Amino acid sequence: MAKYLLLKHYRGAPAAVNDVPMDQWTPEEISAHVQYMNDFAARLEGSGEFVDGQALAPEGTFVRYDGEGRPPVTDGPFAETKDLIAGWMVIDVDSYERAIELAGELSAAPGAGGKPIHEWLEVRPFLTEPPTITE
């Protein structure tokens, strides 16, 4: 089994087919979307392929170390993940092909008008060992 991270983006990926931002959805559309995500996760729990998943709040701060005795530095001159990443799901599957299949299914979550979003999801394998350095 191999673990994969399925990343849902606010922006930064190609536009979804049903590209209406969630803040413009009705409460019923949001409920239907959340229910789809919960049902999808429950199905994967049943098959042993679900590890974890979360939606992320829009608030967030970048932090980095700035030296001994100095306060951490927050934010910076770069795109913030709070502006890019909407949520994630970790799956543990038998193959890359299965990860792609599940990401495709997850992409069909309903959005505005109850129509599938067909959003782009980023599929990233977990690093299982340090990368090999070649000289």
pLDDT in tens, 11-55: 666 778 888 888 899 999 999 999 999 999 999 999 999 999 998
The CATH architecture to which 2-125 belongs is 2-Layer Sandwich (3.30)
Q: pLDDT value at position 69?
A: 85
Q: What is the mean pLDDT of residues 126-134?
A: 87
pTM to 2 decimals? 0.79
Residue 108, classified by CB atoms within 10 Å of its CB into exposed (0-12), middle (13-18) or buried (19+), is middle
Q: pLDDT value at position 5?
A: 95
Q: pLDDT value at position 133?
A: 87
Residue 74 has pLDDT above 80, yes or no: no
Token output for 101: 């299949």
Q: Is 5 helix (H, G, I), strand (E, B) or coil?
A: strand
Half-sphere exposure of 72 (CA within 13 A, CB side): 7
Residue 68 has pLDDT above 80, yes or no: yes
Q: Hey, where are the domains in the chain?
A: 2-125
Q: Is 99 helix (H, G, I), strand (E, B) or coil?
A: helix
Question: Taking the alpha carbons of 21, 120, 10, 44 in that order, is the dihedral positive or negative?
Answer: positive
Q: pLDDT value at position 11?
A: 62
